[in-house]
Chains A and B, each alone.
Chain A
Amino acid sequence: MRWLRRNLVSIIGILVLVYLFIPISVVTALSFNKPAGKFNISWNELSFDAWTNLCGVPGVCSSFVTSLEIGLVSTLVATLLGTMIAFALVRYRFRGRSTTNLIIFLPMATPEVVMGSSLLALFLNLRFPLGTVTVAIAHIMFIISFVVVTVKARLQGLDPRLEEAARDLYASPRATFRYVTFPLVLPGIIGAALLGFSLSFDDFIISFFNAGTLVTFPIYIWGAAQRGIPPQVNALATLVFVIALLIVLTSQFIQYRRRKALAAN
């Protein structure tokens, strides 16, 4: 009883973590299912068809590739623009700082329907054709804020004395940036880019409003939900999940090893 009382928080905490993973285990399990009817929502029969034939259903893989492409391009552009803003915010004085901060904060506090619909209203009024370009524009727009916030935090956490030390050691402003500032901020930029990519890749609402006839992976799923989602979709989603998890766990493990080496010293 005492043991239970003392560890109650930990037990609840772990149960909540397990709860977070229940739907994912369902998604994964159903990727090994041979659906009885149209809809792949209840267990029928073990099958590896989806995995051996990932692109077996028309449209799945092409939408997947579309999402990858849009994700990569949006992430690249947004990371560049966002990093530039972060540097300006931390390193330069300029007029209109509070407005700037507000414009960066607001996209993170705006529901996706509102962002998606207002952007659509703009494109409709401009008679701008919907498609890859409009979706990428939208993604870049909402990723920028996350990049700014992440890189800015990293930049603010940077000890100003490191850059002074570089200047003291004969590094010109350019060399200081290249050999000290940039390498030290880089992990933050990479983190921001990974976050940005995952947001873009998984975005449905904003994309749906601005896609026209373009089909991204989430839009494909949405459409398939009415007709029945093929197990290939589950297999691909599982694959993405596992890869992302591996990337994060590896970086965690490297950090952990580094800290351990440090402690052993």
Chain B
Amino acid sequence: MAPVLPSAAVAPPSTVAQRRSRTGYVLLFPGMTWLAVFFAIPFVTLFVTSLQTPVPGKSGRYQLGLEFGNYATALAEYWPAFVRSFAYAGIATLLALIIGYPLAYFIAFRSGRWRGLMLVLVIAPSFASFLLRTYAWKTILADESPVTSFFNALHLLPDGRILNTSIAVIAGLTYNFLPFMVLPLYAALERIDPRLIEAANDLYASPVTAFRKITWPLSMPGVVAGTLLTFIPAAGDYINAELLGSTKDRMVGNAIQTNFIEFRDYPTASALSFALMAAILILVFTYIRRAGTEDLV
């Protein structure tokens, strides 16, 4: 993917001597143990919990079991939430790509010496509370707000409102995860030598053709990374659905949270959580394989 430069400067061979010694293991041990105990092992306990059965006569107590039926029950009840999670996250990812690409392109090629500042501005919103920013959309999308009135005037809203509909949830997701789309896109675009685009124009490619044949394919790693970094957290999110949607817009995350914390139905919650992770992993690996950028992982 490296742009072809006129001078074939040969880099000196890397001379970082990697040592093999006990020190390496000593450095790895504490951090990796932490990740093993508090990230990897919990997946095992999550799976074990998802197969537990209730202790007869004691509500809220569960015992070791192999109740794969928990998955069937959970999915039977919550499959619409599953579908919504993936649909909302998918649409939000697409929207984020559509509005994020011009921004990333602008920063990479048109912002000149303001580039550093622009990048700061992209991450700056994350400095303000995620919950409050999401909550603020309640104000912006309220029924009498200018935004809602505007869309109503165009007769674009089936329910005549935005707040407490799936539109609000998707809008919130798009907004919240947009920086995760823009930054990888920018990183990929920034690596493109602008002379390649000039060369394409020189070789009779219109701006549109140059974009289709040069810029877009070269930015593909950024597109793949950006869509993944947007889709994964969006599919697991439940804050937007909770704050901006109605009860009809609940996502898997809501179900996991309520089952775990309110109903204390740990097996169902764990089954949903494990199923969500499995579904995301399958989807992600299929996607990466099809996009042909396995070096991403």
Binding site for B on A (CB under 8 A): 9-10, 12-14, 16-17, 19-24, 26-27, 30, 41-42, 81-82, 84-85, 87-88, 90-94, 100, 102-107, 109-115, 117-122, 124-125, 137-138, 140-141, 144-145, 148, 160-161, 164, 198, 202, 204-205, 208-209, 217-218, 221-222, 225, 229, 233-234, 237-238, 240-241, 244-245, 248-249, 252, 255-256
Contact = CB atoms under 8 A, between A and B. Distances in A.
B243 interface: yes
Contact of A17 (B121, B132, B273, B297): B121
Interface residues of B, number: 91
Nearest to A111: B236
B78 interface: no
B260 A241 contact: no
A17 B276 contact: no
A23 B103 contact: no
A111 B31 CA distance: 21
Contacts of A124: 49, 266
Contacts, number: 268
A198 to B, nearest CB: 6
A164 B17 CA distance: 10
- Main SS at interface, chain A: helix
21 contacts: A14-B106, A16-B99, A16-B178, A20-B124, A85-B31, A90-B16, A91-B19, A92-B18, A93-B19, A93-B20, A93-B24, A103-B40, A109-B232, A112-B237, A118-B45, A118-B270, A122-B46, A204-B239, A225-B243, A237-B132, A248-B120
Chain A to chain B: the 3 pairs with minimum beta-carbon distance, closest first: A111-B236, A13-B106, A92-B24
B257 A113 contact: yes
Interface of B: 14-16, 18-21, 23-25, 27-28, 30-32, 34-36, 38-43, 45-46, 48-49, 99-100, 102-103, 105-107, 109-111, 116-118, 120-140, 142, 175, 178-179, 228, 232-233, 235-239, 243, 252-253, 256-257, 260-261, 266, 269-270, 273-274, 276-277, 280, 284, 297
B38 to A, nearest CB: 4
Given A13-B107, A17-B121, A198-B127, 12 more contacts: A9-B102, A9-B105, A20-B175, A23-B175, A81-B30, A85-B32, A107-B39, A111-B233, A111-B235, A113-B236, A238-B128, A241-B128
